[in-house]
Chain A
Amino acid sequence: MLREHRLKVVLMTAGLTQELRRALFGWFYPVHYNLERWAYALQRISGIAVTAYFLAHIVETGNVVGGLSVWSVPSVDFASAIWTATFHFLENPLFDTGLIVIGFMLSYHTINGIRLTLAEFGLLQGKPSRPDFPYEPKSFSKAQRAIFWLSVLFATATAVYALNVFFGV
């Protein structure tokens, strides 16, 4: 009975790992798909990246009042010392480069997210028609394509701006 149960758990996790692996490969390798699929993959990847940044940012800004252990109003000197130390710890080329990447991801996610919101509520949808070579998705209309490229442009501009802010380029 116990062995049977263990076997079931092993089989379930094996199936899950396989599914996860397939799903991950599907995303990070959207090469044989169309542009809409690239937009989707980038939206998911940027979403995960920005979520990771959000979590780090909550911890980081928590140091403005002195960090994880502070649950009542501390002295200004204490909070100031912790925050200044945090800021100097984070002020280096590695984290600055990270922020440039996050800036790119955030801008892309924002503008492409506007496209997805419009599409969700039925706006800017392409007209359905007979599928012909080269089988471009009808849902991904010209207007939507324009917004997608705008998001790439905006993301690049943000990265360049961040490069200027952090490295003075």
Chain B
Amino acid sequence: MKESTRMLLHYATGLGILVVGGVHIFTVFLTGPYVQNLAFASVIMVYRNILLAVTLELLLIFVDYHALNGIRIILIEFHQGTNWERGVSWVLSVAGVLFLIYGTRTILIANALA
């Protein structure tokens, strides 16, 4: 992927996080007392709501890309070179896919939990 495309995606996911992250913060902090909202039954209710579950999945994808691309930018600013830049991209891509799999597993199972 071209560097400019990666950066465009960085800004796009940033704006995406502004929206779905806002929804996430709203459901946790502004719909009732914080401790009550994080009780098991309330949390499962969020995952079982298909719209909120989709929001969480989108948030996961956006933050996963935005965070790891940010780390990539920082690392290639530290040091330059084809091998370094390729290595950083590969390692972070694999890490990103693993986080995505684990997070998606949580969302899918929590959504199916009776």
Contacts and interface: CB of A to CB of B under 8 A. Distances in A.
A binds B: yes
B67 A70 contact: no
Contacts of A117: 11, 14-15
Interface residues of B, number: 36
Q: Could you say which interface size class chain A belongs to?
A: 35 or more
Contact of A165 (B14, B29, B39, B64): B29
A25 to B, nearest CB: 12
A73 interface: yes
Given A19-B79, A48-B71, A84 B40 contact: yes
A79 interface: yes
Contacts of A44: 74
Interface stretch (A2-10, A60-68, A123-131, A142-150): A60-68
Interface of B: 7, 11, 14-15, 18, 21, 29, 34-35, 38-40, 43-44, 47, 60, 63-64, 67-68, 70-71, 74, 77-79, 99, 102-103, 105-106, 109-110, 112-114
